[in-house]
Structure formats: structure tokens, C-alpha cells
Structure 1
Amino acid sequence: MCGIAGWADFERDISAERPVVRAMTDTLACRGPDGDGVWVSAHAGFGHTRNAVIDIPGGGQPMVVEEDGRLLAAVTYNGEIYNFRELRTELEARGHRFRTRCDTEVVIRGYLEWGERCGEHFNGMFAFGVWDARSEELVLIRDQMGIKPLLYKLTPTGIVFGSEAKALLSHPDVATVVDGDGLRELLAQTKSPGTSIYADIREVLPGSVLRFSRRGVSEHRYWELTARPHTDDLPTTVAQIRERLEAVVARQLVADVPRGILLSGGLDSSVLTALAARWVAAHDEPRLRTFSLTLTGADGFRADEMRGTSDAPYAAEMARHVGALHEEIALPAAELAAPEVRLATIVTQDMPTMFGDMDASAYLLSKAVREKATMVLSGETADEVFGGFSWVHNEQVVSAETFPWMAIMHVFEPTHPGLGLGLLDPGLLQKLDLRGYVAQRYREALADVPVLPGEDAHERRMREVIHLHLTRWLGVLLDRSDRLGMGPALEMRVPYCDHEFVDYVFNTPWAMKNHDGREKSLLRSIAKDLVPASVLDRQKSPYPVTQDLGYLTELCRQLRDVLADPNAPVRPFVNLPAARAVAADPQQVAGRPGVWAWICRLDIEMLLSLNMWLAHYRVQVNL
């Protein structure tokens, strides 16, 4: 896993602009502690920071291929191609000669053999830029599911790109500007494909190729989810899912560095742990390492309507079950509330969020794990693939004419503006018209859902719901995992997001996905001989949050400081009377019924993050 950056321009001599390419590259240092490099030519320049996982001595980048002293192509690449060994054999049979063992050389050789269709041959997570010197064009290619980030911006005479917005923002032709649509994307709790929060900075779409040449810019999809009849019966489907997931896990365990698994004790990560432990044992590999997160505080864990059980005992039991070397990483509430940790989570993501302690704990967990492992498997995306969220099983939510994860909020309280929005200025919210914006984005999302003729109304609706999660919610989680993991240079692999696996499960009928009346029925069916009964029967528990009153008390103190500062950049965005009332009394916030205490805390987290982001990035907001 690495960081990439680049610039192409047909009216500038980029060979004389090496310091600009170097500055862009340096912003991504956290993604690549094992080395970096810059390559420039007359009309293109690439930068790369390396987190070495495969072929430690031979995989330096940017990488070039020459023939008879003539440049053919250069590449800067981020990701992992899990089938690179098979592709290398195929490419060698076609006459290509390799000088390294790394997948980077397979990427550039694959491009030289198959051109822009090379992505169709790759199984993995990847984002890369190729400068094709033969045709003088830049080609940007992103993996099928959008696991690896790839942003770009057209400049007056060229194009810049990178793994993260900070790389683009360091270019002299790119200003740190957020317009009305950028704020809407930031606050609307959905992710419109191809967009970012920064004006005119866009993402290459998942499964897409973008070409920049003297003729201009073009983009097309080489892969997307399609609808087709599912012909396997239930036993065959369960067997297929088991076989396919075993193969995915085996592919994604390949690495030349220490590896592990993030084990929460939930079904998703426990299944991966069991399959990985079997593979490790079968191949006489070192004992599997697992890592879990525990949030410590004076109040301890209390069951509530969102989280009925603590992760720790289930994670420990699962680790014992497979004989893994397990480590529980404990994080105190005071560390989660530290301003420097909040700033780190903002800088890694290039944006503020309402997730507060969840972002902080994910970042600090990655930082602690990185001391023991360079790469980990994560159970992220299983809920999107199998339909594991509670709201997917709520008929009122499913039938709502909006995104399901937003409809659940309306079920709680129809008048609340949305998660993280409760302390924002009502005039600002009215001007942004978030509900109108979301409604438009929802209509666009529905129009993208593939149709299967003959599907009954309920199956059709559940196909829509799963597709919405895979194309409009998954991007939020993948971005978050990538940035908070790569902040401390920890590579996160997500087996459930393998595009071939996702395609198969997507086309299984909802009646099969829900065949036992519980969430993730298919995953539970393949796990019966893999995990202890307690883990198999455990009710889904969301990502942990701290329940320590001291954390909320510290948030309120920080909010009082922000509100007392007349020069605080967030001030024009705040409902001052509401914010002052909340900041004055942490006990009153904590005493709110049910999930409302947590929702109010998200509102505080968003204000604090907004203020810090506006100040640190010196954002120019144009409404």
C-alpha cells in the first residue's frame, strides 16, 4: 500500500517542475514510510511513497519500462494485485521479461500488453497512473469496487492526481475551496460517486479508466455490478460462498511482511479469522496474529439499545478457538478526546467528520497494530454485501423513499436535520437544502440499479437496497478505512469486497440472504463449523464508542472554548444558543433517552471537527 501523485500538462515543461511533484509526493509520506521516488519527463511527472508489502528490495517506484533506450511507459501504483503471480506467468508466455518479483511490474507490463483493458485482468485493490510515452497520454485506472482512492483535478492546461486530496491541494494551481455542493456532500451522510468535498476535485469512478491526452479527457467504466438470474439452489449457494471466500482469503494473505487480522468477535471478522487460521496451518506459516479494540473508562461497558454486548470476550474466545496469538489494544477515553488525535484524523481524511471517538479509536488502533504488523485483513463491507445492517430488516425503513441509513434517522425523529447537523445554523441548513439534495442523489442512485426482468416487487426493492449500500454507502466506509489505516501506514485488506465475490452474492435472491430470518443468513450458514456457537449466535454489535462521561465532559469543555473565541472559523455555521446550551451541561446531554445522547454527541463532534478543519486547511467556503 502506497501513496501516488502525478501531473500531466502539454503546455508546461514538467521536467523543470520537479519541486512541485516532490511537494505533492511529500504530503503522502505517511502512506509510504519505506521509501519514495519522483520521476519527471517533458509533459508528465509522477511521485510515489512506498509501504513495502511484496518484494521489499525490488518494488521501488515510480517504475519505467524502456526498449532500446526509448521510454515506453511509466507507472505510479497504489494497491495489491492478488492474482499477480498468475498474470506474470501469462505475460511471460506472451514475451514479457521481468526484473522484479513485485506486482507493480505486473501492472505496467499488463498495461503494455492489454492497454486500458488491463484492469479487467486484475483481481485486487488498486489505483494507478500510467504515462504512455508512445501516445503521450495519461491513463488513470481504479479498482472495480473503489477500494483504493484516486482523485484528480483538471488545471487550466493539464491534470493533477493523487491518492488523497492533500496531494492535489499542494499544487500551485489548486485552491482549497469548498462550494455549496461540497458542503452538501460533507454533511449529507452519503457519497455521490465521482465527487469530493473540494471544488472541482473529483474521483475516478470505481471500475473506471480516465484518459487525458491532447484531445482532452474521457472516462469509461470497465466493470460494474450487473443483474442476472441466480440458478443455484440454497445448499449450492452456501457451498459456493464458502468456497469463494476461502479462495479470496488465501489470495489476500500473500505478503512478505508481518500480517494479522482485526478481530472484533463479530461474525464477519471471526469467519475471516477461522479461514485464515486454517490456511496458515495448512501452509506451515507463522501463527496467526489477531488484534481487538477495547475502550477503557471509569464507567466500563453498559449494554444499551445499540450495543448489547462487549466485543472483548467474544474476540478472545474466537482467538482461543483457532489458536491465534491475540492482543487486546486498550484505549482510554482521555486519549480519544485529545485535540492532537482529532487533528490527526482530520488530516488523514482531509475532511471533518461527526464520528469523533470512532475515528480516533480506528486511527489509534491502526497505529498500535502497525508496530506488530504491516498488513491486516478486515471484516469491513460484509454488512453491505450480505445485508447485515439492522435497518435493512426494518420494513418502515426499507419502504422509505430515501437512503436506508438516512431513513432510520427519520424513524427516530422526523424533525431532526440529520446526524451531526443538530447544532448547525438553521439558516445555513435551509440554504443548503440537504433534504432536496439527498432526494436528487437518491433518484440518481435508483436509476443506476440494474434491473432483472421478472423479479417480484420485494426482491426488486431489496436489490435496490443492497445496491444503494454497495454504491453510495460503501464508499464512505472504504475511504474511512483507507485513510485512518494508512495514516499510520497500516495496509487494510477487505476480503468481503473482492469484486467477483460481491458480484456473486449481489445476485443471490433476498430470500436466500434472509433465509433464516436473521441478518447475514448466508454468512452464518457457512460459519457453522468455523466459529464457536456464542459467536455464531451473537447479535450484531456496531463499532464501539466510549461510554465514559469524562469523554463527553471534555468535548463540552472544548466546545465552550470554541464558542468563546470570536474568531473561531466555525462560528458562522453554528446555532449559537443551541450549542451554548449543550456545551454548558454534559450531564444533561448524557441523560437524554436512548440513542439521543449519542446523536447529540455526534453534533458536538461535528462542530469541533469543522472548526479544526477550517482553521488547519484554511478553507475558503463559497456558498
Structure 2
Amino acid sequence: MCGITGWVSYRRNLTREQETLEAMTETMSCRGPDAAGTWSETNAALGHRRLAVIDLPGGAQPMRVPTPDGDVVMVYSGEAYNFTELRDELSDEQFFSDSDTEVVLRGYLRWGPAVADRLNGMYAFAIWDGRTKELVMIRDRMGIKPFYFYPTADGVLFGSEPKAIFANPLAKRVVDVDGLRELFGFVKSPRNAFWQGMQEVEPGTIVTVSAGGIRTRTYWRLEAKQHTDSVEDSVLRVRELLDDIVRRQLIADVPRCVLLSGGLDSSAITALAGQQLDEPVRSFAVDFVGQAENFQPDEMRATPDTPYVHDVADHVKTDHTDIVLDHGVLSDPELRRKVVTARDIPNGLGDMDGSLYLLFKAIRGKSTVALSGESADEIFGGYKQFHDPEVQRTDFFPWLMLARDMMSEPLIAPGLAEAMDLRSYLGDTYASAVAEVDRVDGEDDFTHRMRVMSYLHLTRFVRILLDRKDRMSMAVGLEVRVPFCDHRLVEYVYNTPWSMKTYDGREKSLLRGAAKDVLPESVVKRVKSPYPSTQDPLYLADIEQQAKAIPAGHPVFSLIDHNAIATGGRHTLERTLTLATWLDIYQPEMVF
């Protein structure tokens, strides 16, 4: 896992821009604390920060292979979990390392951009092909690894994060109405990178930059296919895939661990990892001072995590650690600054972002790689909205339907609300997303509607959470892998009809059936509970005080209604503080 950045220019000599290249690369130091490297020739300059996970001595980057017609050079972030099989296919090549990076580079030399079709993993990489004077940028199918680019008058800037691009004076920190719609809408729109002029390399796409311009090709998308397996065979297939996925994703030359919440998803990964490893699995969970003893059920969370976490830890016999946080550390403005800086965008989830950052920071002291249960709810249909009859009947983004009370708080400043026209924007965005969904012959209306809901979560919602996970983990140099995002599993479960996904009358039936033999009964029977949030009233008191202390003339009140601080709830207070912190750090030009 690493941080990548670079610059392609067809009208200047980039060998004279070393200082700027180093500045861009240095912004990625948190993503790659182990090593740094740069490379440049006339039209291209690449930078890399490395977090060494596989082939610690041999995987230095930028990685270059000279050819008679020009150098082919790559900067790579992520992991190719099938690199050993690909290396076997390329056995006639002369390898100089044991890294997966070189396998991907050699694969490009053999198959060109079509190497993407062969990869299983999470990755974002850029290859400067000196033979054609083209830059090829490729991102994994699910968008696990972030990847941004910024077209210029004569080329492009790119990076794992916007901050790398902004270290180049050609990039301007401007946010327009489209960016603000993305921010307040809580929907991940294709290509929208929030910052004016910047784009994301879309998941499953290849972006090629040449002197003639920029072109994009999709190499993978979710497609509807007939599902012919029985329920029993479907459960067996899910288990076969999970066994293979966990085995692949445990490969590392550094200490590994799992993130354990006591829910079905993370518990399944933990238990399957326990079967794969010869030593005890190292597991970590987040908790809050007094939460287990004083927990109060609410609409989102019926039970505290800790008892279930400990059930799994005892059942699997993991080497377990609870990371227990108090209200003071969660409300600390300095923590908020670190979170906002890591995310670049103030699309925060309050204390849930801060606790995730602190959890990852604590883990990094003992492990370099962690496996997470992220994304199972989107894939298997675990969220409450999947099972709400009203949401099932309503043509709108399902997660926003259940969050409508939160979304209707008096949050947005009146002038901005009028400029954004968020209702129309979300309606148009929803319609364009639904138009992408294929329909299988003979699929009844309800089954297709549930397919649509699944598609929306997998393309417009999960990417928000994957980005959050990546930014919080890489801010402390921790690689977090997401087994449930293996594209083979995603494709298979996406095409399993809803009746099979709920065959036992509950959420995530396929996953429960596939993993119940390795889990304690308490977890098998547990009702879905989201990522935990502190219930400590002292936390709310802290952020109320901080929000009221924001000066009346602060630019945040061009975005947030000043009256919202007094009349809004916890969500409004957290959002206001996050936005104010972001404005202080980035000082963007706002255009609306």
C-alpha cells in the first residue's frame, strides 16, 4: 500500500520540475512511511511513497523497465492478490524482484492495459509508457483505492489524494455548486471529485493521457446475469469464495490482524482467518468508556458491540485488544483537524470518523495489514433500508430515505440551499443511476427493484465508506483490506435474487448460512448493528460548546445556517465543526 502522484506535460521539460515533484510526493508520506522515490523525463514525472508489505527489500518505486523504444515506468498503490498466478503466466520474463508491483508492470508489458482484466485486488496505478508517450491510469473495480486527476492545458496531474495534486501550483483549490451538491447530498456521483477541475479515475476504468487528449475506457461494471444455482449451492459457493478470498488477502510479509466489531461480517472474516493461520489471529475492536455498561438501544443500534466481540474472540481464540476511547479524545479539535486533513473533503461522520482514525492509529503500533468486514451490508443486503417496505416502494436513494429526519435539519444556509437545488440534483442523479441497471429476462418487478437497490448501494454509497476507510487507515500508514469487495463475490451475490438473500427470513442470509459453522451462536442470531458511535452526553456537551464558540463572521456560515447551531441536533453540530475546520485548513475559493 502506498501513495502515488505524478505530472505529465507535453509542452515543458519536467526534469526541471524536481522541487515541485518532490513536494507532491511528500504529501503522500503518511500513506508510505517506509520509502520515497521519484523519476522524471522530459514529458513525465512520477512520485511514490511506499508502505512495504510484500518483498520488503525489492519493491522500490517508481519501477522502471527499459525497452529499445523508451522506458516503461510505474507507480503503484495497493495489492494484486493473484500476483503469484500471474507471475507463473509470465515465467519466461526476467524478474528482478519478488513484488506484486513488478508482476503488474510485467503484465502491462505483455498485455498492455488489458492487464486490468486479469487483476484480482485493490489498486490504483499509473504507467508512463515511453514507447508511446502516453500515461495509463488504472483503478480497481470497486474503487477501494482512491485515484484523482486534474487535466491541465498540456497534460495532467494525478495523485492518490487531492492534496498531492494541490502541491502543484497549476491546481487551484476551488469548490463550485457541483462540489457542494456532492458534499451535502451524501451520494457518490461518478467522476465527481468535489474540487472544481478535478476528477476521479472511476472504479473499473482505464484513463489514457496522450498529446491528443484524455480518453477513458471501462473494463468492468456490474452486469445483470441469470442465477441458476439453488439456495444450498449458492451458500456453498459464497463459502468457497470467502475461503479463497481470505486466504489470498492474508498474504503479507508484515504483521496482520482483523478488525472485529462483533457483527456477522467482521466475525466471519475473523473466524475464517483463524482457520487459515497457524498462529492466533490478532483482533482489534473499538469501544467507548462506559458504553457497554450504560448502553441505551436506539433506532440504529439495538445492542452494544463489546459482548459479541468477546464472544467471537473467545470462540476463535484470537489475540484480542479493545481500544477504549473517552469523550475528551473524540471531541478534541486536534483530532478533527487530523481527520479532515486525511479526508481532504469535509464529508465527515462526526465521532465515527474520529474513532476510526484512533482505532487505526492504535492498531498500527502492532500490525501493518488489517482485514475488515466493510461492504458486506451493501453486497448481501444488510442495511435496515433494504427491508423497509416503504423504502422498497420509493424511487429514491434508500439510505437517504431512512436518514430524511437527519437530512431535514435546518442545516444549509438559505442562499446556498437555493443555489444547489439539492432535491432536483438528487432526483437527476438517481434517475441516471437507475438507468444503468440491466434487467434479466423474466425478472419480476420486485426482484428487479431489489437489484436496483443493491446497485445503488454498490455504486453510489459504498464508495463513500471505502474512501473513508482508506483515508483514515492510510493517514496512519495502515493497510486495510476488504475481502467482501472481491469482484468475484460481488458479481455472484449481486446476481443472486433477493428471495435467496433473505431465504431464512433475515438480513444477509447467504453470508449467515456460509459462515454459521465457524461462529458463536450469539453472533449468528445478532441483529445488524452499524459502526458504533459514542452515547456519552459529555461528548455532545463538548461539541455544543465548540460550535457556539465559532465566530459569527466565520466563512462556515456561508454554508451553514447560523441558527442551526441552536436548533439543530448532534449531526448539525458535528457537520458545522467539520466544515469550519476544513475551511480553516484548505481556505478554498467558493463559487456558487
Equivalent residue of 1:181, what SS? helix
- CA contact under 8 A between 2:286 and 2:323: conserved in structure 1? yes
The 2-side partners of 1:422 and 1:49 are apart by: 43
Shift in Å, 1:573:
2.2
**TM-score when normalising by structure 2:** 0.98
Residue pair 2:267, 2:519 contacting (<8 A) in 1 also: yes
CA contact (8 A) 2:155 2:211 kept: no
Which residue, 154, 158, 167 being the options, matches 1:157? 154
Q: Aligned-pair distance for 1:96?
A: 1.2
Residue deviations 1:514-567, cap 9 Å, x none? 1111100111111221101001001111111111111111101111110xx144
- Tell me, yes or no, if the aligned pair for 2:7 and 2:158 is still in contact at 8 Å: yes
Deviations 1:54-113 (A, max 9, x none): 000111111000146x64300000000000011011111xx3110101001011101100
Give the distance between the partners of 1:317 and 1:62, measured in 2 at CA: 45
Aligned to 1:547: 535
Cα distance in 1 between the residues matched to 2:437 and 2:445: 14
One-letter code aligned to 1:575: D
Query: Structure 1 residue 450: deviation in Å?
Result: 1.6
Letter matched to residue 322 of structure 1:
V
Query: What whole-Å deviation, never above 9, does each CA across 1:464-518 have from its counterpart, x for those lacking one?
Result: 0000000000110110000011110111100000001110111111110011111
Aligned to 1:571: 557
1:11 paired with 2:5, answer no
| Aligned match of 2:249 | 252
Of residues 341, 349, 354 in structure 2, which corresponds to 1:347? 341
CA contact (8 A) 2:263 2:526 kept: yes
Distance, in Å, in 2 between the alignment partners of 1:50 and 1:365 is 22
- Root-mean-square deviation (CA, aligned residues, Å) is 1.3
Which whole-Å deviations, capped at 9, do the CAs of 1:297-324 have from their partners, x for residues lacking one? 5883222232111111111110111111
Q: Secondary structure at the match of 1:64?
A: strand
Structure 2 residue identity aligned to 1:469 = H
Q: Is the 8 A contact 1:377 1:494 kept in 2?
A: yes
Task: Answer whether contact 2:65 2:71 (CA < 8 A) is retained.
Answer: yes
The answer to whether residue 174 in structure 2 is matched with residue 181 in structure 1 is no
Cα distance, 1:581 vs structure 2: 4.8
Match of 2:431 among 433, 439, 443: 443
2:83·2:100 contact (CA, 8 Å) conserved in 1?
Answer: yes
Give the letter aligned to residue 384 of structure 2. S
Q: Distance in 2 between matches of 1:567 and 1:427?
A: 16
Cα distance in 1, alignment partners of residues 264 and 22 from structure 2 = 44
Q: Kindly indicate whether the alpha-carbon contact (under 8 Å) linking 2:564 and 2:572 is maintained by their aligned counterparts in 1.
A: no
Q: Who is 1:619 aligned against?
A: 588
Contact 1:354–1:602 (8 Å) recurs in 2? no
Rounded to whole Å, the distance in 2 between the matches of 1:460 and 1:578 is 40
Rounded to whole Å, the distance in 1 between the matches of 2:213 and 2:187 is: 30
Change (3 A) 1:452 1:514: same
Instruction: Supply the distance in 1 between the matched residues of 2:282 and 2:415 (Cα, whole angstroms).
Output: 51
Kindly tell me the number of residue pairs found equivalent between the two proteins: 591
Structure 1 spans left out of the alignment, 5+ residues: 583-599
Partner of 2:442: 454
Alignment of 1:216-615 (within 5 A): 216-280=213-277, 284=278, 286-297=279-290, 300-410=294-404, 413=405, 417-418=407-408, 422-562=410-550, 565-581=551-567, 600-615=569-584
Q: TM-score, normalised by structure 1?
A: 0.93
CA contact (8 A) 1:260 1:376 kept: yes
Q: For residue 576 of structure 1, report the CA deviation from its aligned partner.
A: 2.1
- Specify the alignment match of 2:74 in structure 1: 75
Identity of aligned residues (%): 46
Query: What is the letter of the counterpart of residue 245 of structure 1?
Result: L
- Contact 1:353 1:605 (8 Å CA) reproduced: no
Secondary structure, aligned partner of 1:529: helix
Aligned with 1:570: secondary structure?
Answer: helix
Structure 1 contact 261–377 (Cα < 8 Å) conserved: yes
| Distance (whole Å) between structure 2 residues aligned to residue 407 and residue 274 of structure 1 | 34
The code of the aligned residue for 1:147 comes to I
Map residues 28-39 of structure 1 onto 2, 5 A cutoff: 28-39=28-39
- 1:120-139 to structure 2, matched below 5 A, reads 120-139=117-136
Task: Report if the CA contact (8 A) 2:315-2:519 is conserved.
Answer: yes
Cα pair distance change 1:581/1:485, threshold 3 Å: same
- Whether contact under 8 Å (1:300, 1:548) holds in the other structure is no
Equivalents in 2 of 1:376, 1:310: separation in Å?
23
Given that residues 179 and 621 in structure 1 are in contact (C-alpha distance below 8 angstroms), is that contact kept between their aligned partners in structure 2? Answer: yes
Matched position secondary structure for 1:526: helix
Q: Which residue of 2 aligns with 1:594?
A: none
Residues 9, 159 of structure 1: 8 Å contact kept: yes
Q: Which amino acid aligns with 2:365?
A: E
CA distance in 2, matches of 1:372, 1:524: 30
1:585 corresponds in structure 2 to: none
Supply the AA of the counterpart residue of 1:213: S
Task: Provide, for residues 408-439 of structure 1, a one-character-per-residue CA deviation record: whole Å limited to 9, x for no partner.
Answer: 134xx4xx744xx6332233212211111000
Alignment of 1:78-93 (within 5 A): 78-92=77-91
Aligned counterparts of 2:326 and 2:521: Cα–Cα separation in 1: 31
Q: Does 1:147 align with 2:116?
A: no
Report the secondary structure of 1:329's partner residue.
strand
CA contact (8 A) 2:258 2:370 kept: yes
Is the aligned partner of 1:102 residue 2:99? Answer: yes
Residue type of the partner of 2:537?
A: L
Does residue 170 of structure 1 match 2:145? no
1:64–1:71 Cα contact (<8 Å) kept: no
CA contact (8 A) 2:155 2:210 kept: no
Distance (Å, rounded) in 2 between the aligned partners of 1:380 and 1:58: 31
